[in-house]
Chains A and B, each alone.
Chain A
Amino acid sequence: MTDSTPHWYDDEAGPMVRLYAMTAGRARPSSEAFDLMAVVHADSGPGPLGEGSALSPEQYAILTLCADRPRPVAEVASDSGLPLGVVRVLLSDLLAEGLIHVNRPVPPAQLPDAHILREVIDGLRAL
Chain B
Amino acid sequence: MDSARSDSFMALKILVAGGFGVGKTTLVGSVSEIRPLSTEERLTEAGRPVDSLDGIQHKTTTTVAMDFGRITIHHDLALYLFGTPGQDRFWFLWDELAQGALGAVVLADTRRLADSFAAVDYFEHRGVPFVVAVNCFEGARSHRAEDVAGALDLDPGTPVVLCDARERESCKEVLIRLVEHAASSYEARLDANAPSS
Binding site for B on A (CB under 8 A): 19, 35-37, 39-41, 43, 69-72, 74-75, 77-79, 83-86, 101-103, 105-108, 111-112, 114, 116-121, 123-125, 127
Binding site for A on B (CB under 8 A): 3-7, 9-13, 31, 35-40, 63, 68, 70-71, 73-74, 77, 79-80, 82, 96-97, 99-102, 168, 172, 175-176, 179-180, 182-183, 186-187
Contact B100 A124 (CB under 8 A): no
- Point out the residues of chain A lying under 8 angstroms from B102, CB to CB: 111-112
Contact B4 A116 (CB under 8 A): no
Query: Assuming A41-B5, A41-B9, A84-B38, is B100 touching A120 (CB within 8 A)?
Result: no
- Point out the residues of chain A lying under 8 angstroms from B4, CB to CB: 41, 43, 101, 103
Which of B6, B31, B182 is close to A41, meaning CB atoms less than 8 Å apart? B6
How distant is B43 from chain A, measured CB to nearest CB, in Å?
13
Contact B40 A83 (CB under 8 A): yes
Query: Assuming A77-B38, A120-B79, is B11 touching A105 (CB within 8 A)?
Result: yes
Contact A19 B40 (CB under 8 A): yes
Which of B12, B80, B100 is close to A75, meaning CB atoms less than 8 Å apart? B80
- Point out the residues of chain A lying under 8 angstroms from B31, CB to CB: 127
Given contacts A41-B9, A84-B39, A127-B31, 5 further A-B pairs with CB under 8 A are: A41-B4, A75-B80, A111-B100, A119-B74, A120-B79
- Point out the residues of chain B lying under 8 angstroms from A118, CB to CB: 183
Query: Assuming A36-B97, A123-B73, A123-B77, is B176 touching A74 (CB within 8 A)?
Result: no
Cα distance A79–B35 when bound, in Å? 8
Cα distance A85–B77 when bound, in Å? 25
Query: Assuming A119-B77, A123-B77, is B100 touching A107 (CB within 8 A)?
Result: yes
Contact A121 B80 (CB under 8 A): no
Cα distance A91–B10 when bound, in Å? 19
